[in-house]
A and B are shown apart, each in its own frame.
Chain A
Amino acid sequence: MSEMTHSQVEELAGAFALGALDPDEEAAVRAHLAECGEAHPEMEAALGAGIVMAESLDPVDPSAAVRDRLMATIEGTPQAHRQAVAQPVRQSRRGWLDWLSPRVARPLAIAAMAAVIAVGAWSLGLQSQLNQRDAALRAVASAISGGQAAFRVEGNAGRGYVVDTPGRGAALVVTDLAELPPHRIYELWLLNPAGSPVAVGTLTSTDDAIAVVQLERDLSGFSIFAVTVEAERVAAPSSDPVILGVLGSS
């Protein structure tokens, strides 16, 4: 089907919200919504209506065997996001920025560039005036431009890089950080090849597109970086990692 106009899409809002379009019409509506920058008041008002149709029905319990079968099925069923184990990557500057979404890449690039320019223009004495975030971003930019490895880390709570800059420690830069449940923190870990964890910092939810944390240790002697969700800072992780990355093998 050819492209739809804005008004055509709005006229089909009810049918789209109720799943009552032909496949080609539905694809055309989706394509329009994905590209159009204008508001769609009728579409916004209509979408989500299906839940009312569903909730108008009397609930019906499936037989107990369905639950048993479900639990047996998922026992051997991997989750999509956990199959994508974090891989260390050696990134060029272009690759690093390409990997990030445009929403995040632009502010990161601007911030990193500003920090690098600041370092070039200011005296060493003034460097101390850079805040921790700028310093970490500068470390990331410097490490990448200097050909050092930036280790990719990712998981269902977010994704980013860990960069180790000799003499200046290591930093985690993470994007799209998932919101924490109440009264929980992210705790950062480095694990040695034997698997022993060392706590290297904490992080709470942030509204920023990019969160930057200076790690309390450099990466020497460690092979894994991980983030877990904890009630408070603890000496050993109490849950599975929500962000994970392999260090040092790029």
Chain B
Amino acid sequence: MTDSATLQDDGLLAQRIRSGDRAALGEVYDRHASAAMAVALRIVADREGAEDLVHDTFVAIWQKIDRFDPARGSLRSWIVTIVRNRAIDRLRGTRPSIEIGEADERSLLRSGPNPTWESAMARLGGIQLRAALDELPAEQRQAVELAYFGGRTYREIATITGVPLGTANGRLRLALARLRERLSQTEAAPIGAGDER
């Protein structure tokens, strides 16, 4: 869970990193490396490889901190997106396919970011988020996990699960719509207490 104070502090830390403050990068690492490591390890299933990805991600953050736009999302979200993309590239055996400046696709939008996802991250812990994912129909959950953690395209998901392309794509759309609706409700009536992260 990342509360509003943490988000605010992250903004200050990002600014310190911009000014060349190495200690600030260390603080950012201490805050977010475990989340980045969880994503990397889930994707590459190799601890040493995951640690290399985390290391390389934070080096990239140091080098390209000027590409971080707090108006488009949190520092944690940016870090996780970068490590996820790098892990998928490693899984696929491809060269980095996305420039770090493009890591947050929300920069493509003319409007501001949709607050649902960041708000859920800020308000809820892993248990609540897992509960929301668990409530998805099994085929939708399988589709989003194959996509996000497996690096599978919807075309590949269609082949793996033996459904038409439109069905595979539709499952991803429906899954996100259901998840967003569930998380919005959860913000109004939180599920239990937040877990410690």
Do B148 and A48 touch across chains, with their CB atoms under 8 A apart?
Answer: no
B19 is an interface residue with CB less than 8 A from chain A: yes
Do B179 and A52 touch across chains, with their CB atoms under 8 A apart?
Answer: yes
Interface segment among A32-40, A100-108, A162-170, A195-203: the answer is A32-40
Do B114 and A60 touch across chains, with their CB atoms under 8 A apart?
Answer: no
B interface: dominant SS = helix
Do A14 and B169 touch across chains, with their CB atoms under 8 A apart?
Answer: yes
Do B117 and A34 touch across chains, with their CB atoms under 8 A apart?
Answer: no
As a 0/1 sequence over residues 27 to 58 of chain A, the CB contacts with chain B under 8 angstroms (1 = contact) are: 00010011001011011111111111111111
Do A12 and B59 touch across chains, with their CB atoms under 8 A apart?
Answer: no
A116 is an interface residue with CB less than 8 A from chain B: no
B44 is an interface residue with CB less than 8 A from chain A: no
Bound-state CA distance A51–B132 (Å) is 13
Do A19 and B84 touch across chains, with their CB atoms under 8 A apart?
Answer: yes
Bound-state CA distance A75–B73 (Å) is 28
Contacts of B175 in A (CB 8 A): 14
Do B55 and A56 touch across chains, with their CB atoms under 8 A apart?
Answer: no
Partner of B37, one of A53, A59, A69: A59
Do B109 and A53 touch across chains, with their CB atoms under 8 A apart?
Answer: no
Which B161-194 residues have C-beta < 8 A from chain A? 169, 172-177, 179-180, 183
A109 is an interface residue with CB less than 8 A from chain B: no
Do A51 and B66 touch across chains, with their CB atoms under 8 A apart?
Answer: no
Do B126 and A62 touch across chains, with their CB atoms under 8 A apart?
Answer: no
| Contact count A vs B, C-beta below 8 Å | 214
Count A interface residues, CB 8 Å.
62
Report the contact-size class of chain B (Cβ under 8 Å from the partner).
35 or more
Bound-state CA distance A159–B54 (Å) is 32
Do B153 and A22 touch across chains, with their CB atoms under 8 A apart?
Answer: yes
As a 0/1 sequence over residues 113 to 152 of chain B, the CB contacts with chain A under 8 angstroms (1 = contact) are: 1101110110010100110110000000000110111011
Partner of A73, one of B39, B55, B110, B197: B55
Contacts of A16 in B (CB 8 A): 105
Do A14 and B153 touch across chains, with their CB atoms under 8 A apart?
Answer: no
Do A51 and B62 touch across chains, with their CB atoms under 8 A apart?
Answer: no
Do A81 and B66 touch across chains, with their CB atoms under 8 A apart?
Answer: yes
Partner of B80, one of A54, A77, A242: A54
As a 0/1 sequence over residues 104 to 118 of chain A, the CB contacts with chain B under 8 angstroms (1 = contact) are: 000000000000000
Q: Take A14-B176, A48-B114, A49-B179 as given contacts and tell me if A20 and B154 are in contact as well, using a CB distance cutoff of 8 Å.
A: yes
B132 to chain A, nearest CB (A): 8
Contacts of B85 in A (CB 8 A): 19
Contacts of B77 in A (CB 8 A): 48, 50-51
Contacts of B34 in A (CB 8 A): 59-62
A172 is an interface residue with CB less than 8 A from chain B: no
A67 is an interface residue with CB less than 8 A from chain B: yes
Contacts of A54 in B (CB 8 A): 35, 38-39, 80, 84
B63 is an interface residue with CB less than 8 A from chain A: yes
Interface pairs A-B: 9 shortest CB-CB: A59-B34, A14-B172, A20-B147, A14-B173, A81-B66, A18-B147, A57-B38, A48-B117, A33-B108
Q: Please give the residue numbers on chain B whose beta carbons come within 8 Å of chain A beta carbons, in ascending order.
A: 1, 11-12, 15, 18-20, 22, 25-26, 29-30, 33-35, 37-39, 41-42, 50-51, 54-55, 58-59, 62-66, 73-74, 76-77, 80-81, 84-85, 88, 97, 102, 105-106, 108-111, 113-114, 116-118, 120-121, 124, 126, 129-130, 132-133, 144-145, 147-149, 151-155, 157, 169, 172-177, 179-180, 183, 197
11 contacts across the A-B interface (CB closer than 8 A): A14-B173, A15-B173, A19-B88, A20-B157, A45-B177, A48-B117, A57-B35, A62-B54, A71-B26, A81-B66, A156-B19
